[in-house]
Structures are given as C-alpha cells and as structure tokens.
Amino acid sequence: MNKKITTKEIVLGGLLLATGLILPMIFHLFGLTGQIALPMHIPVLIGGFFLSPSLALCLGIITPLVSSVLTGMPVLFPMAVIMMFELGTYAFSASVLTSKIKLPAVTSLILAMIVGRTAAGLTVALLVQLFGVKMNPILYIKGAVLTGIPGIIIQLIFIPLLIFVIKAYNKKALF
C-alpha cells in the first residue's frame, strides 16, 4: 500500500520548509533566540499534521540542515544534527499519530513533542559515544525544555489553532 505523494503535498512541504528557514530569522530580528522561541519547530510540527509520514520526516530532517548551510543557524555540528533527529521525529510522530492512529491534534502535538525531545536526548548520547561531544543528554533535554518553555507555550497555543483554521478553510474551499 504505497501512497503516492501528491503535488499538493510537495508544494506544502516546500512552503513549510521556506517558513522554517524564514521564521527563525524574523524571531532573531526581535531578539528572540531559537532556543527560547523554537520558531523552526512550528512549521515542521504543522507539516506533521498535513503531510504523509515520509514527507513529514523529510521536512523535519531537511529544515535544520538547509538552515544551517544557508544561514549558519543552527551550527551544523552538533546542533543541526541533533535538531535533524528531533524535528524529523516531531513531524513523523505527529503525522503517524494523526493520520494513522487518529488521535486529536493536541494529544498528537504533546506526544510528538515528548518523542522528539527523547530523540534529541538519544542523539546527544550517541554523539557523546561516537564523537566525544561534551554534552550530557539528560542535562541537554532538561535545559532545552526549561529554556524553550516560551516556545513550547507558543506551540501549544498556535499550532492547534492554525490546524483548526487551515482545516476549516479547506472545508470551505471544497464547496
């Protein structure tokens, strides 16, 4: 049962990728760093609700990589690598939880955020073992969550709202 990726999904994925590159720059203009506001997470998580799991995974992996290469944010190693696993897991989890398991948006969002942070911690642990990166996985997750509380609040408020608005608009556009 291979589901073909539609042109609409590819265009939406491209739009969300572009948003994931531009939004952090806008936040930085206003003095909000990525670690606090988590702007790249927003379009990637939204992609998880509207893209197939495979395309959502690609979006989550590619966004921090392209951002790092084009803007230097985040630094390619180790941060962009960690974020590639984290954001890829966010998007993939959100997609599977909503499209396959049929959980409500808020539940899927919260679970995807937990699974994504866990993936980030496991990635840090792997980087410590393989490359001797000087990070503690537990402290990394704790610090990321505590520092990112404003961004997490933004995500919990705006992502379900945006999903509702987009779905309502799509229903109207069909009639």
Query: Looking at residue 174, what is its pLDDT?
Result: 58
Q: Scan for tokens 């948003």, then name that residue.
A: 19
- Listed in sequence order, the residues at least 6 apart from 136 whose beta carbon sits closer than 8 Å to its beta carbon are 124, 128
pLDDT digits (tens, 9 = 90+) for 53-67: 999 999 999 999 999
Compute the average pLDDT of residues 93-108: 97
Angle, alpha carbons 151-157-163 (nearest 5°): 115
Specify whether the CB–CB gap between 87 and 41 falls below 8 A. yes
Q: Scan for tokens 């990589």, then name that residue.
A: 65
Compute the average pLDDT of residues 6-14: 95
- Token output for 157: 């408020």
Compute the average pLDDT of residues 82-103: 98
Q: Is residue 35 exposed (0-12), middle (13-18) or buried (19+ Cβ within 10 Å)?
A: middle
